[in-house]
Amino acid sequence: MKIVSVVALFSVLMLALASLAGAAPAQKLQTFGTGEVSVVGASATIVLSDANQYGGVYLNSKSQGGKTLNQVTFGFISHRDVQGGAPRFSLPIDDPATAVKGDGFAFIDASNCGAPVGPGTATQKAATENPNCKVVYGNQSFANWATFADANPTLITTPGAIPFIIADGTAGTYAVSDIVLR
Ligand SMILES: [Ca+2]
């Protein structure tokens, strides 16, 4: 009787382990930088005490790599301070026609989506799907991500590279929520 119970318990345990192994691993935002970066779920707060600090978040995921620009979605909502370029997406871009792996970065920042620059509490969605978000790539600027994608049908997100959100350049508190990085 005791052996049967142990076997039954073991079976239940193995089932539990199997279901754990089969479940998608929980994706947690990772932090980086010299500022104070905290994460709660899909939100992050980046506190920079001076202009030399920087900080940001990323997902340890390469699932958005190697895709054409019209196949990817990135987004966040900015809630606090906004400066030119901060907070922003930094999205690794590759031109398959050149040998170098990773030709540059495309940037989407809250300011270029319409958020007023300065300390504040206005919210602004910065996203590939927001038609009001200008995209900066190299020395070029595009009205939005769809325009960028249409103009560059052969560019792809750099395979194996990790996109991130960053704030830098000006002391302040940068708060982002609803982060979509994959
Ligand atoms: Ca290349």
Measured in angstroms, how far is the CA atom of residue 56 from the centroid of ligand 1?
Answer: 26
Measured in angstroms, how far is the CA atom of residue 117 from the centroid of ligand 1?
Answer: 34
Which domain CATH number covers 159? 2.60.120
pTM confidence score: 0.84
What is the amino acid identity at position 72?
V
Q: Return the bridge partners of 67, or none.
A: none
**Is 5 within the bounds of a domain?**
no
Torsion of CA 177, 72, 134, 58, to 10 degrees: 40
Exposed, middle or buried by CB within 10 Å (0-12, 13-18, 19+), for 131?
A: exposed
How confident is the model over 143-173, as pLDDT tens digits? 999 999 999 999 999 999 999 999 999 999 9
**Is 16 within the bounds of a domain?**
no
How confident is the model over 59-94, as pLDDT tens digits? 988 888 999 999 999 999 999 999 999 999 999 999
Measured in angstroms, how far is the CA atom of residue 89 from the centroid of ligand 1?
Answer: 20
Tell me the residue range of the domain where 143 lies. 28-180
**Is 10 within the bounds of a domain?**
no
C-alpha 18/C-alpha 46 separation (Å) is: 38
